[in-house]
């Protein structure tokens, strides 16, 4: 009921200060009883964790609530099909450019990197070590600044102090990075940045935007239309849309691993480079919650239709 109430309040972009006060009253009311009864009842501990994760609605005078959404499944599927190297629908004909673009998409989608963070990676950013307990090789990316000369007019940067971090990656993604560097990376000897343009210079933020625009334009019309409906009219997928998708999925994965919402939010902060007090994890948690609510509403509707059919029969 609380989730339904929150969704109802935030579904209207023109919410007012009274709505903020109303939610605060409900939230504090539930928190009071959850704290009193959680010692004796595990269910109330779950309620406390859920309400803490939902957080407060911002004062409308201090900026609108951010509504973030993962890419619709049909849009994401079509984007990956178009961007995959060798795909007939790929708008880029050069195989090396296709591999580089594929790597950019996966860095944004699987690692949740900001565009600037991806552009700051160097050929030495990929690290590995042997796990002493399992004997397996573990790979990660060092996301941080570098002292290398950057000749780009729009220089990428690390957003906050917490954005300096290490991100674990899969063996497959590590292999793709190594393959790109050894076989497809344009090299003129002037830069150590991982992602390069055709002439071997550093890849620019503008080039990433143009690449995503070209991939978006190459998608099937129905997939692009679904994306427009979901985002209020956006015509192309952006780097931040891929980060949104990663954050929403990562939250669901973390909550399945730990079964502890607060711990999942802390993992989110570490993975995506947010400050300890940042409310961004709660925003993505709400995006996942609202998707779950949509599925729940759909199931409830189906059950009600089946009941009506039985009565009619």
Nearest to 112 by CA among 267, 260, 220, 228: 267
| Long-range CB contacts for residues 262-271, cutoff 8 Å, separation at least 24 | 262/49, 262/52, 262/53, 265/53, 269/162, 270/165, 271/112, 271/165, 271/167
The pLDDT value recorded for residue 66 is 46
DSSP one-letter code for 58: P
Residue environment code for 184-207, b if the CB has 16+ CB neighbours within 10 A, otherwise e = bbbeeeebebbbbbeeeebbbbeb
The residue with greater pLDDT, 23 or 305, is 23
Residue 309 has pLDDT above 70, yes or no: no
Give the tens place of pLDDT for each residue, 208-266: 999 999 999 999 999 999 999 888 788 899 999 999 888 888 887 888 777 788 888 88
Helix spans in the chain (H) = 2-10, 17-37, 42-54, 73-83, 95-110, 115-120, 171-179, 205-218, 221-231, 239-258, 261-272, 280-312
CB burial class (10 A; 0-12, 13-18, 19+) of residue 152? middle
Query: Using an 8 Å Cβ cutoff, are 133 and 184 in contact?
Result: no
What are 7's strand-pairing partners? Answer: none
Nearest to 191 by CA among 107, 100, 122, 142: 122
Q: How far apart are CA 158 and CA 169, in angstroms?
A: 20
Q: Which two tokens stand for residue 99?
A: 């591999």
Q: How far apart are CA 244 and CA 114, in angstroms?
A: 10
Q: How far apart are CA 98 and CA 101, in angstroms?
A: 5
Q: What is the mean pLDDT of residues 28-36?
A: 84
The total of other beta-carbon atoms located within 10 Å of residue 300's CB is: 10
Residue with tokens 């940045």: 193
Nearest to 208 by CA among 296, 312, 311, 103: 103
Give the tens place of pLDDT for each residue, 116-156: 999 999 999 999 998 888 888 999 999 999 988 999 988 89
Give the tens place of pLDDT for each residue, 188-210: 988 999 999 999 999 999 999 99
Is the whole-model pTM more than 0.75? no
Query: Using an 8 Å Cβ cutoff, are 103 and 176 in contact?
Result: yes
Cα angle vertex 106, ends 101, 108, to 5°? 100
The residue with greater pLDDT, 302 or 235, is 235
Q: How far apart are CA 61 and CA 254, in angstroms?
A: 33
Nearest to 177 by CA among 99, 108, 111, 120: 99
Backbone angles phi, psi at 203, to 5 degrees: -70, 140
Q: What length is written for the chain?
A: 313
Q: How far out from the chain centre does Cα 140 lie?
A: 18
Best-predicted range by mean pLDDT among 95-109, 162-176, 224-238? 95-109
């Amino acid at each position: 009921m609380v989730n339904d109430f929150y969704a109802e309040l935030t579904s209207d972009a023109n919410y007012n200060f009274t709505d903020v006060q109303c939610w605060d009253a409900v939230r504090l009311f539930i928190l009071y009883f959850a704290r009193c009864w959680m010692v004796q009842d595990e269910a109330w501990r779950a309620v406390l964790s859920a309400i803490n994760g939902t957080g407060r609605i911002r004062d409308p005078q201090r900026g609108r609530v951010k509504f973030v959404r993962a890419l619709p499944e049909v849009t994401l599927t079509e984007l990956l099909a178009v961007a995959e190297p060798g795909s007939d629908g790929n708008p880029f004909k050069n195989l090396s450019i296709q591999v580089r673009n594929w790597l950019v998409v996966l860095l944004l989608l699987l690692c949740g990197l900001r565009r600037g963070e991806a552009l700051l990676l160097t050929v030495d950013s990929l690290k590995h070590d042997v796990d002493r307990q399992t004997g397996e090789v573990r790979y990660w990316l060092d996301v941080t600044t570098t002292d290398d000369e950057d000749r780009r007019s729009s220089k990428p940067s690390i957003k906050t102090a917490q954005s300096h971090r290490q991100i674990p990656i899969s063996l497959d993604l590590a292999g793709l990075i190594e393959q790109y560097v050894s076989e497809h990376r344009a090299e003129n000897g002037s830069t150590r940045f991982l992602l390069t343009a055709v002439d071997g210079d550093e890849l620019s933020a503008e080039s990433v935007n143009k690449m995503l625009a070209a991939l978006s334009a190459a998608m099937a019309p129905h997939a692009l239309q679904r994306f427009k409906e979901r985002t209020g009219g956006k015509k192309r997928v952006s780097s931040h849309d891929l980060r949104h998708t990663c954050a929403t999925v990562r939250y669901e994965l973390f909550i399945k691993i730990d079964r502890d919402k607060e711990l999942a939010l802390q993992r989110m902060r570490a993975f995506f480079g947010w400050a300890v007090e940042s409310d961004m994890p709660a925003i993505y948690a709400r995006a996942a919650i609202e998707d779950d609510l949509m599925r729940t509403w759909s199931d409830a509707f189906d059950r009600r239709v089946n009941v009506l059919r039985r009565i009619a029969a």
